[in-house]
């Protein structure tokens, strides 16, 4: 076919070194750039100057997908780096990360562009068409690569393992009465009504008026709750679409933001005519709207944004726009809870998979603790930075912590992207449990408002003591007085967002506004929070986390 489909596959696999097939003297030009996958584990570490030429467009679990000048390929080979070089990256190229590396799926992708498997979970598709959703198999998921990500790739030597993240135990986590009360208000009927309403639009394929109509209905639904609502407009492939963003302002620290979101568009094997999308993803959207209903009558320390994303099925366009705008504006997003396909049960008891990358692992711990204490709901942690199949991935790209809650990270629903993904196939007991666990997680992150309020500003400065016998760190914690506080408690942060899991350092409340944490191992702690205590001994919420400087 015309365009990318007619190009030959130029990539040459390299088990031990990168091929120079694309950089012969006759064809080498300094103005050309190549696409390459470069493994994170290397026999030799590349020079810093070489790494600086790599423009990261996607982080994978075990590799980096980068653009780099063609003229550096010789040094890559001579440096012994393992990976694979693909074809030149031309102006106008549209790049997608696709959710399969199976040979038959790669062959199908090559009917619409050039394609290569990247790892066990994904492939790269390079095409000249933004709107390929209807031209590829319905079971494949698209992530439009927007890059560059503005991060520097890191590498480690063979035999060196990365530091392991240790989880704080969630066993015996105390139930927080304000959250428990809200959990009890989650309505199975309200969740079902929302799913049925969204299904009734017949198809919510992002390029169609019926999707816009569904977005307008969500706008009106959030607005009816008394929340501030706005359309977040964007374009893709020549089409206009919009996210729906409802905001509940924080009372104590409104600049700190918790996002809970889900995509409301749908797709199927007949997207333009019928894509009911009950599980994918009216189920997740219903949870977001239900949280908004319960939370709208409460106050929290931090701001909560309820977001219904559009054009997820077309390439994560809506969440990409939202996350990029948030980063550009310097928004302080504490964490993102993304819900995608949360109502189908293939076996009992069903668990909720929590997909995170390394920096977001604490969010999986926070969610799992809340799910155990309030739902109850079994969970499975999936740490896989390559799993970029839903809107959480756009926040990873911008450096925010995000978790995706999904019934199965490798979808087991036989109705996935089919015209028969309908309400009748769903398990509303599971949907309700997910809603309760999600509510408890978001509420714990945003903290239901309590008095006395925490100190508004907490700072930490650290000093390192080094001698022949000891290397340790001393942290100096300071804060501004809080109204109504007779004293303060100081905590080391173990798992942010897991209320009650931090380590309290003082015996009796501190009456001043400073505290010294002495002689800790260098890697023992990275941050602190402070609470206020009134004259009757009542303790308020955690302050904003203060990172050790």
pLDDT in tens, 362-394: 999 999 999 999 998 999 999 998 899 999 999
Is 547's pLDDT higher than 60? yes
* Alpha-helix residue ranges (DSSP H) falling in 200-237: 209-224
Is 20's pLDDT higher than 70? no
Weakest mean pLDDT among 74-83, 280-289, 328-337: 74-83
Mean pLDDT, residues 470-496 taken together: 86
Amino acid 523: pLDDT: 59
Q: What is the 3-state secondary structure (H, E, C) of 39-72?
A: ECEECCCCCHHHHCCCEEEEECCCEEEEEEEHHH
Amino acid 152: pLDDT: 87
Is 161's pLDDT higher than 80? no
Cβ atoms of 203 and 265 within 8 Å: the answer is: no
Amino acid 503: pLDDT: 86
Query: For residues 378 and 145, what is the distance between their CA atoms, to the nearest angstrom?
Result: 33
CA distances (Å), 138 to each of 108, 250, 267, 376, 415, in order?
11, 41, 8, 34, 11
Question: How sure is the predictor about 525, in pLDDT bands with cuts at 50, 70 and 90?
Answer: low
Is 471's pLDDT higher than 70? no
Amino acid 80: pLDDT: 76
Mean pLDDT, residues 322-349 taken together: 96
State what percent of residues in the chain have pLDDT above 70. 86
Cβ atoms of 231 and 218 within 8 Å: the answer is: no
Query: For residues 54 and 148, what is the distance between their CA atoms, to the nearest angstrom?
Result: 10
Query: For residues 357 and 383, what is the distance between their CA atoms, to the nearest angstrom?
Result: 5
**Tokens standing for residue 281:** 């993803």
Is 228's pLDDT higher than 60? yes
Sign of the CA dihedral with 495 first, then 255, 284, and 272 last: negative
Amino acid 306: pLDDT: 98
Amino acid 125: pLDDT: 94
Q: What is the pLDDT of residues 428-448, one digit of tens each?
A: 999 999 999 999 999 999 999
Is 356's pLDDT higher than 70? yes
Residue 452, preceding peptide bond in cis (omega within 30° of 0): yes
495 CB-near residues (< 8 Å, 6+ apart): 167, 168, 362, 365, 366, 369, 501, 502
Is 29's pLDDT higher than 90? no
Is 17's pLDDT higher than 80? no
Is 500's pLDDT higher than 80? no
Is 273's pLDDT higher than 80? yes
Question: How sure is the predictor about 10, in pLDDT bands with cuts at 50, 70 and 90?
Answer: very low
Please provide the DSSP assignment of 482-506 as one string: -TT-SEEEEEE-SSTT-TT-SEE--
**Residue 334 vs residue 170, higher pLDDT:** 334
Amino acid 14: pLDDT: 37
Question: How sure is the predictor about 414, in pLDDT bands with cuts at 50, 70 and 90?
Answer: very high
Residue with tokens 């819900």: 339
Is 27's pLDDT higher than 70? no
Amino acid 473: pLDDT: 76
Amino acid 168: pLDDT: 36
Is 544's pLDDT higher than 70? yes
Mean pLDDT, residues 242-246 taken together: 98
Question: How sure is the predictor about 15, in pLDDT bands with cuts at 50, 70 and 90?
Answer: very low
Question: How sure is the predictor about 179, in pLDDT bands with cuts at 50, 70 and 90?
Answer: very high
Least Cα distance to 377 among 433, 425, 416, 420 occurs for 433
Mean pLDDT, residues 523-539 taken together: 86
Mean pLDDT, residues 267-280 taken together: 97
Mean pLDDT, residues 133-161 taken together: 85
Amino acid 50: pLDDT: 87
What is the set of domains in the chain, with CATH numbers? 3-157 (no CATH), 188-446 (3.40.630.10), 458-547 (2.60.40.10)
Mean pLDDT across the chain: 87
Q: What is the pLDDT of residues 93-135, one digit of tens each?
A: 899 999 999 999 999 999 999 999 999 889 999 998 889 998 9
Amino acid 467: pLDDT: 56
Backbone angles phi and psi of 396, in degrees to 5: -55, -45
Backbone angles phi and psi of 51, in degrees to 5: -60, -35
Mean pLDDT, residues 310-318 taken together: 97
Mean pLDDT, residues 395-402 taken together: 95
Mean pLDDT, residues 162-179 taken together: 59
Is 18's pLDDT higher than 70? no
Question: How sure is the predictor about 154, in pLDDT bands with cuts at 50, 70 and 90?
Answer: confident
Rounded (10°) angle between helices 361-374 and 428-446: 120
Amino acid 174: pLDDT: 77
Is 248's pLDDT higher than 50? yes
Backbone angles phi and psi of 149, in degrees to 5: -85, -15
Amino acid 466: pLDDT: 59
Question: How sure is the predictor about 427, in pLDDT bands with cuts at 50, 70 and 90?
Answer: very high
**Residue 212 vs residue 92, higher pLDDT:** 212
Amino acid 496: pLDDT: 66
Mean pLDDT, residues 189-213 taken together: 98
Pair type for strands 63-69 and 55-59: antiparallel
Question: How sure is the predictor about 348, in pLDDT bands with cuts at 50, 70 and 90?
Answer: confident
Q: What is the pLDDT of residues 32-67, one digit of tens each?
A: 888 889 999 998 888 888 888 899 999 898 999 998
């Amino acid at each position: 076919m015309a365009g990318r489909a007619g190009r030959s596959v130029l990539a040459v696999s390299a088990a031990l070194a990168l091929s120079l097939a694309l950089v012969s003297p006759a064809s080498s030009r300094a103005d050309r750039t190549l696409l390459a996958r470069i493994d994170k584990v290397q026999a030799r570490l590349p020079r810093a100057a070489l790494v600086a030429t790599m423009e990261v467009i996607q982080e994978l679990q075990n590799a980096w997908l980068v653009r780099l000048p063609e003229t550096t390929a010789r040094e890559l080979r001579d440096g012994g780096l393992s990976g694979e070089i693909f074809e030149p990256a031309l102006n106008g190229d549209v790049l997608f990360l696709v959710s399969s590396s199976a040979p038959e799926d790669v062959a199908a992708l090559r009917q619409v562009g050039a394609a290569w498997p990247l790892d066990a979970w994904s492939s790269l598709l390079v095409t000249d068409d933004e709107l390929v959703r209807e031209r590829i198999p319905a079971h494949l998921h698209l992530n439009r690569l927007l890059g560059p990500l503005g991060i520097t790739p890191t590498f480690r030597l063979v035999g060196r393992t990365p530091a392991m993240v240790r989880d704080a135990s969630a066993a015996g986590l105390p139930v927080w009465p304000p959250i428990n009360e809200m959990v009890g208000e989650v309505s199975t009927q309200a969740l079902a009504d929302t799913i049925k309403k969204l299904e009734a639009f017949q198809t919510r394929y992002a390029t169609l008026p019926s999707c816009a109509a569904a977005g307008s209905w969500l706008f009106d639904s959030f607005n009816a709750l008394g929340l501030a609502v706005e359309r977040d407009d964007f374009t893709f492939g020549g089409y206009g679409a919009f996210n729906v963003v409802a905001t509940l302002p924080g009372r104590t620290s409104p600049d700190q933001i918790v996002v809970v979101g889900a995509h409301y568009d749908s797709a199927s094997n007949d997207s333009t005519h019928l894509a009911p999308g009950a599980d994918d993803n009216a189920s997740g959207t219903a949870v977001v709207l239900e949280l908004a209903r319960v939370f709208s009558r409460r106050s929290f320390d931090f701001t909560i944004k309820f977001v219904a994303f559009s054009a997820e099925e077309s390439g994560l366009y809506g969440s990409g726009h939202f996350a990029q705008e948030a980063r550009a504006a310097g928004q302080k997003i504490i964490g993102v809870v993304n819900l995608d396909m949360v109502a189908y049960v293939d076996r009992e008891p069903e668990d909720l998979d929590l997909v995170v990358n390394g920096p977001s692992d604490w969010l999986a711990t926070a969610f799992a603790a809340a799910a155990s204490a309030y739902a109850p709901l079994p969970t499975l942690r999936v740490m896989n930075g390559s799993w970029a199949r839903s809107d959480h991935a756009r926040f990873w790209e911008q450096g925010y912590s995000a978790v995706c809650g999904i019934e199965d990270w490798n979808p087991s629903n036989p109705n996935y992207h089919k015209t028969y993904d309908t309400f009748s196939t769903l398990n509303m007991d599971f949907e309700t449990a997910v809603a309760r666990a999600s509510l408890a997680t978001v509420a714990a992150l945003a903290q239901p408002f309590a008095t006395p309020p925490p100190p508004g500003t907490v700072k930490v400065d650290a000093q390192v003591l080094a001698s022949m016998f000891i290397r340790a760190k001393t942290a100096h914690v300071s804060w501004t007085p809080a109204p109504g506080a007779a004293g303060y408690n100081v905590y080391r942060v173990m798992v942010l967002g897991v209320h009650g899991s931090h380590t309290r350092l003082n015996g009796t409340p501190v009456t001043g506004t400073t505290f010294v944490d002495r002689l800790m191992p260098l890697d023992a702690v990275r941050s602190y929070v402070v609470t206020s205590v009134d004259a009757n001994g009542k303790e308020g919420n955690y302050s904003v986390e203060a990172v050790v400087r």
